[in-house]
Amino acid sequence: MSRKYMLTYCLRSIVGDWFQTIVDKDVSAQNAQALAANILDWLISSGVVVAERDDCVLGAESGHRPGPAVAAVVDSAAGDSSFRDLWTNGLAIVTERSVFDAGQGDPIAVSCPRCGTATRLVDDCYELIPEVWELFGTGIHAWAEGQDDAVVPCPSCAQQVEPTDWIWADDYFALGHLGFKFWNWPPFRPDFVAEFGRRLGDHRIALVEGKL
């Protein structure tokens, strides 16, 4: 876990609600619901979340609160168990075409999956560079609107890359049809994230972390 995320987590009670979203970047719209159900079964049976749903998340009507075994999947050194007492501490599952983002701040850079070159999106003062950002923002918007053939040409190698394939610094963005959004949980243990990815069929995943 990076120092940045530790700091973000520790500040959450002061500045707002912190979330971690595990995003499946590969599952199709058709398969998202079934895969979501499989993962939820695993999370409930292993005690990570409870089966009952109630009003415990933001941006959705209801979610699943932490279960009795939640301590096994989060980094206890990063905080205590007080998140269990919060009103907003549930898991919300999104099963529709979505642009998941880190909430506050701007994306710093994005890397091409073909040539590996990182394109910086901000200047030395961390302001977005409009002409560079527009290229990617247009592609993301087109994909979000349902254009499956949208592409963004790589500024370095000029290959046409699908919006879903770009790799965002710090996982600022992730585009996909399935996301698991956990509210106000301490940072996940790396082995939990790895197991999550394995159960998602070894799909590419992103861990989008941020706050509202």
Helix/strand/coil for 136: helix
Q: Which of residues 51 and 157 has its CB atom nearest to Zn ion in the complex? A: 157
CA–CA separation, 76 vs 27, rounded Å?
31
Smallest gap from residue 140 Cβ to Zn ion (A) = 17
Question: Contact with Zn ion (CB under 5 A): which of 58, 71, 109, 114?
Answer: 114
Question: Contact with Zn ion (CB under 5 A): which of 112, 140, 167, 207?
Answer: 112
Smallest gap from residue 166 Cβ to Zn ion (A) = 10
Judged by CB under 5 A, the stretch of 20-28, 68-76, 105-113, 166-174 that binds Zn ion is 105-113
Smallest gap from residue 107 Cβ to Zn ion (A) = 17
- 115 binding Zn ion? (CB under 5 A): yes
Q: How far is CA 94 from CA 3, 182, 200, in A?
A: 28, 11, 14
Q: How far is CA 109 from CA 56, 132, 168, 198, in A?
A: 33, 10, 6, 27
CA–CA separation, 178 vs 171, rounded Å?
15
Give the residue among 16, 26, 24, 47 at the shortest CA–CA distance from 207. Answer: 24
Q: How far is CA 83 from CA 18, 80, 113, 187, 208, in A?
A: 11, 7, 37, 12, 19
- Tally of CA atoms within 13 A in the half-sphere of 43 that contains its CB: 28
Q: Which of residues 34 and 115 has its CB atom nearest to Zn ion in the complex? A: 115
How many residues contact Zn ion, by CB under 5 A?
A: 6
User: How many other C-beta atoms lie within 10 A of the C-beta of residue 77?
Assistant: 9
Site pattern 134..163 for Zn ion (x: CB under 5 A) = --------------------x-xx------
Binders of Zn ion among 167-206, rule CB under 5 A? none
- 23 binding Zn ion? (CB under 5 A): no
Site pattern 31..60 for Zn ion (x: CB under 5 A) = ------------------------------
Q: Which residues bind Zn ion (CB under 5 A)?
A: 112, 114-115, 154, 156-157
